[in-house]
Amino acid sequence: MEPKSWRDRVRDEDELLAQLNQAASESASRRAEALRDGVAELGSVAEVARALGKSWQAIDQAIKRDQRKKAPKPDATTE
């Protein structure tokens, strides 16, 4: 059996990276949703951060990053 060419190997790895990036993005969205649920339950980002042993900035940034990702683009038309 002939080994794959370098072009085929690069193409395969590019496809894998795209799949991994998609999975990471979906995971970050689910995590942000869980963090929002934690804020709703505990009352503040700071309380969620304390409960998880993380900084409040890390929790706040994760939630805001997800909100920005889901926000409509400014140049998007609504039809």
pLDDT tens-digit series, residues 22-57: 999 999 999 999 999 999 999 999 999 999 999 999
For residues 53 and 70, the model is more confident at: 53
The answer to whether residues 65 and 28 touch, using CB atoms and an 8 Å cutoff, is yes
In a domain? residue 48: yes
Q: Is residue 1 part of a domain?
A: no
- From the number of C-beta atoms within 10 Å of its C-beta (0-12, 13-18, 19+), residue 22 rates as exposed
- What domain range is 45 assigned to? 34-68
Asked whether the whole model's pTM tops 0.85, one would answer no
Question: Is 60 within the bounds of a domain?
Answer: yes
